[in-house]
Each structure stands twice: as C-alpha cells, then as structure tokens.
Homo-oligomer: A and B are copies of this chain.
Amino acid sequence: MSVVLPAERLMKVLGYSFQDPQRLKQALTHRSYSSTHNERLEFVGDSILNAVIARTLYLAFPQLTEGELSRLRASLVRQEALADVAGELQLGDYLSLGEGELKSGGHRRPSILADALEAIFGAIWFDGGFSEAERVITALFASRVAKIDPAQALKDPKTGLQEWLQARRQPLPEYVLARQEGESPNQLFEVVCLVRGLQVETRAEGPSRRNAEQQAASAALALLRERHPGKRL
C-alpha cells in the first residue's frame, strides 16, 4: 500500500497554498477511490493548461506560425510530458486510488499522473483565481519551454512519423491524395495518411500536396503518441 502523504509538502513544491485544501484533495482523488473524484476538475485544468502554454509560446516564439505553435504545445502537454512533471512533484505519493488501481501500480501510471496534474491546475484556478494558476503552470513548465529548440521540435512531421514507426518496427505510412480542387495559387489538396498496421487513418487539407501530407502525418503522429505513450507497442 502506498502511503498518502499530507499535502503540505506538495503545496510547497507546487508553490501554491490552497485556501480550501479539500480542492487539492479532490484533484488528487482517482475515480477508483471515491465518487468525489478529479475528472471534472481535470476537464477545466486541461483547458487552462492549454491556454497558458499557448500564450507562453506565442510570446516566446514570435517567428512561428499557428500550426508550429500548436505542435510545440502538443509536445509540452502530451501525457508523457505531464507525467514527467507529475513525477518531479512526486504526485504519485499523494494520490487516493482504489484497491485495484493501487495493486496494479496506478500511482505510477502516466495517464493517472497526468490527469491529476491537470486537475490540480483546475483546482488552483477555482481556489486562487486565474493568475495563481497561470503562475504555477508557468513555473512548472518554464525550464521545458526554455529548452525547446524549434528546429528540432518542429522536425518535419513526415520524418518524425517515419522515425516513430521505424523505432517500433512498423510498416511505413502511405499517403493517398483524396481530393484536389481549384487552380493555382488557390489550390486545395486533401491527403489521407494511412498507417495500416496500427489502424490509423488521418486526413488533412493544405495549399500543396506536400503541406497536406505533412499535416496528415502530424495528426497521425499525435494520435499514435496518445495511444501508445511508451517506447514499445
């Protein structure tokens, strides 16, 4: 059995002291433990995390396009990355989990850790207002934002998808032109990206075939990373 620690230590590492500690307790409660669990808070917390990171990246990278900012954000807030942040806070030690989840190592599961972290952001928003939540999120992600190398992070998504699949010994994706409309310079291309072995089919539109392929590859990669957060399939 893991021991649930008093939350004062957690508030200290978060840099935020709850006016109503019940809010923090709820954010740390998995649905397997109680009906007063953290899923609704997670919904709100996910949204404030996305907003704060969007603004941070907008200001940090004035030269990047909307699509590039969106990809950088996805890399910062995906489950694995959030579970890393949760790990630094030792969030697993504070979670309330049901018997079954406890036995199966739920306090180390990336999805449970990531959800609880987001729920904490939502709880801070309700407890202390937006600017407090923004301050905590900004502090937790500052070093990660500072480390972003756009050239590396924004590596062409087709290359990224190919590397992801090769590392897992999967067949390479296929790109199919589904539609082509209009005349230059207002042409529209729609491309489907198929990863047959893994039942992934994404599609995207763009002003060129290459652009549409890159976008479809980016969507496929995001989906695969979400479905298979680990290094192995």
Contacts and interface: CB of A to CB of B under 8 A. Distances in A.
The number of chain A residues touching the other chain, given as a range, is 20 to 34
A19 interface: no
A130 B44 CA distance: 16
Contacts of A66: 39-40, 42-43
Interface stretch (A50-58, A147-155, A167-175): A50-58
User: Can you tell how many copies of this chain the complex includes?
Assistant: 2
A47 B73 CA distance: 11
A43 B58 CA distance: 9
A143 interface: no
Interface of A is mostly: helix
A16 interface: no
A27 interface: no
A194 to B, nearest CB: 10
B44 A58 contact: yes
A186 B102 CA distance: 13
A178 interface: yes
Interface string A66-79: 10011000000000
Contact of A40 (B42, B58, B100, B122): B58
Contacts of A65: 39-40
A127 interface: no
Contacts of A48: 51, 54-55
A4 B160 CA distance: 43
Interface string A121-132: 010010000110
A206 B47 CA distance: 22
A201 interface: yes
Interface string A188-206: 0000100000010101000
A40 B69 contact: yes
Given A47-B50, A201-B201, 16 more contacts: A40-B64, A40-B65, A42-B66, A43-B54, A43-B66, A44-B54, A46-B54, A47-B51, A47-B55, A48-B51, A48-B54, A50-B50, A51-B51, A58-B122, A100-B186, A199-B203
